[in-house]
Chain A
Amino acid sequence: MALLELNGVDAFYGRIQALRKVSIKVEKGEVVALIGSNGAGKTTTLRTISGLMHPGNGTVSFDGREITHTRPSKIVELGICQSPEGRRLFPRMTVGDNLVMGAYTRNDKGGIASDMDRVFALFPRLQERRTQIAGTLSGGEQQMLAMGRALMAKPKLMMLDEPSLGLAPILIETIFSIVREINAQGTTVLLVEQNAHKALEVANSAYVLETGVVVQSGTGRELLASEEVQKAYLGM
């Protein structure tokens, strides 16, 4: 059974339908990518999963449990954590406090401390800037912090929304190698990206969204080789 499963999900913003019958499966231990252009419904999909909005029709289930109408705070407790689009850090809290906020739903002090060490091992820059307020970090550092914060919840599934947005190419490399590293350490990753090439390289499987509909799916490699994907998203 898949760790996360969306089944025929419709989602609406008022009267506008943003998702039509979206069905997605994320198996445990995988990196799954959602690619598509602006307005395709990628972020909406993530918001539906994390409970920030609820689907009009269809179901979302996670770890054998239906979470279609569960509160966001409860969903975090169940093990889904999101690094949201635009990072959405707490700009006037320190780097350290931002990370502590990530572990908000947890009570195990020892576990939190060791996860903090783990985050600092992945992102040494964050350790250097621990007492600095997050709003004063550079773009790349902010992305690292957003990912570190999501990791602090010790999620079974980590959702990353456009981690490469607005970053220099060299930083994008770093970010994606860290995504691989996080996955290798045992966290399942659902990745939303406009940078289709990079995303498909790291993804075990991937879905292509267009105007709220899944138009194509397959393994990362299959989609990289697919002619339509190449034309539409890889600029070849």
Chain B
Amino acid sequence: MSQRAAGGSGSILARFRLRERIRDRDQAVYGILIIAAVLFPLVTIYATDGTALVSQATRAGYFVLLAIGLNVVVGFAGLLDLGYAAFFAIGAYTYALLASPQLASSPAHHAVHLPFWLMLFVAMFVAAAAGAILGFPTLRLRGDYLAIVTLGFGEIVPQLFYNFDQWTGGINAVGIIDQPVLPAWIQGPWSGDGPVQIVRSFNFGGDPVAFYVLICILIAAAVILVSNLYRSRLGRAWMAIREDEVAAAAMGINTVTTKLLAFGIGASFSGFAGAYYAADVSLVSPDSFLFIVSITVLVMVVLGGMGNISGVIVGALVLYYVVFYLIPGLPENVTNLANSIGLSSETTHSLADATQHLNYIIYGAILVAMMLLRPQGLLPSRIREQELKHAAVQEEEAAVEMEHAT
């Protein structure tokens, strides 16, 4: 008995350390991310003498925001959402319509130009409301059925923007969207072109660095918000529903409001990201919000480590790199490599051609390999880690028992 007690307390200590280690790991990841976020524009602007890479990073940034939001729905509350891009579209169109000349040519005959900073929050609320509206019919559904309904929603929304072309311009897209303007008091003598220039002038009209700084601030705000939510009463209720909905109801959780809140809050982040996206690219078309976007974001969440915020961020960045850099750049890189090891130009050409054709197969293979090698995601949550460890121990025990039996 005493032996057992000793073993028990020993394992508790070990577990405690595991917990601490993971908390440390999260802090380390955030630290690295912050340093990287600061260094990235400095280094790339210096090295490449241009801001092309910075605007690419900005684009990665809204995928990070989307992944953080989807993680609330899928990772925390366990509601599989395959139509998440719809909310992104709703956020983007909210800003695009209310801050561009578009409505002048619509039946309203009057262009609206609301300020970006206000619209960030308006878009957020509109997307959250859309999330709650989607939530209603799905409240009784679970798992696969829920996934199919969200999939349908994700297909319907871009179609709506296509078909209401009187308002949205349909296939012609909404263009010339307003850029954010900083309030005058920020543009003090200490910035811009004045005699004392401490900070370089900060102008959203065509300066990618300004957008980069903004997305970093938005992401930081989102991370703080979501981590607090995760530790809150609501966060625990989400987890309980994910684990066992009946038991959650038996504990006194109002499953209806809790699920609606998950959909709404998750969607609000993509509304945020959508308004930001519209301002950044200044052109919003229904084509930008197809199924592949929803799936890419979902893969980012799963790959990074479902339920773990720092993991999801890393997952989003890694997958963004793979999808938008590694895969498209592959033919060129293959050509360069082949040239450098001295293959004939004919083989080089056919090699590049082959990689071009195999793009998606290579992408698929990378995903399969990642999931086989790290099913728990790149940076799994503490729970997932313990679970897999337990499964491994059980397997080992079973194996030992088998050996004894024979």
A interface list, Cβ under 8 A from B = 50, 52, 71-73, 75-77, 81-82, 84, 88-94, 97, 100-102, 104-105, 128-133, 135-136, 149, 153
Contacts of A132 in B (CB 8 A): 15, 386
- With contact pairs A73-B249, A102-B251, A105-B252 given, residues A93 and B243 touching in the complex (Cβ less than 8 Å): yes
Which of A71, A88, A89, A94 contacts B254, CB < 8 Å?
A71
- The stretch that binds A, out of B66-74, B146-154, B233-241, B356-364, is B233-241
For the complex, give the distance between the alpha carbons of A77 and B12 in Å: 34
User: CB distance B244 to A101 under 8 Å?
Assistant: no
Chain B residues contacting A94 (CB-CB under 8 Å) are: 383
Between-chain CB contacts (< 8 Å), 5 pairs:
A73-B252, A82-B250, A88-B247, A90-B239, A94-B383
Is there an interface contact between B383 and A84, defined as CB atoms closer than 8 Å? no
Query: Would you call B250 and A52 a contact (CB within 8 A)?
Result: yes
Interface flags for B234-275 (1: CB within 8 Å of A; 0: not) read 001101101110111111111100000000000000000000
B19 within 8 A of A: yes
Q: Are B246's CB and A52's CB within 8 A?
A: yes
- Please report the C-alpha to C-alpha distance between residue A73 and residue B16 in the assembled complex, in whole angstroms: 33
B193 at the interface (CB under 8 A from A): no
With a CB–CB cut-off of 8 A, which chain B residues contact A77?
A: 252
State how many angstroms separate the Cβ of B4 from the closest Cβ of chain A. Answer: 10
B244 x A90 contact (CB < 8 A): yes
Q: Mark B1-22, 1 if CB is under 8 A from A, else 0.
A: 0000100110010011001000
Tell me which residues across on chain B come within 8 A of A133, comparing CB atoms.
Answer: 383, 386-387, 390
Instruction: Across the interface, name the chain B residue whose C-beta is closest to A149.
Output: B251
Cα distance A128–B13 in the bound complex, in angstroms: 10
Which residues of chain B from 374 to 402 have a CB within 8 Å of any chain A CB?
Answer: 383-384, 386-387, 390
**Which of the residues B237, B249, B387 comes within 8 Å of A135, measured between beta carbons?**
B387
Interface centre among B19, B242, B244, B255, by most A CB within 10 Å? Answer: B244
With contacts A73-B252, A92-B243 known, what are 8 further pairs, Cβ within 8 A? A77-B252, A93-B240, A101-B240, A104-B237, A104-B251, A104-B253, A105-B252, A135-B387
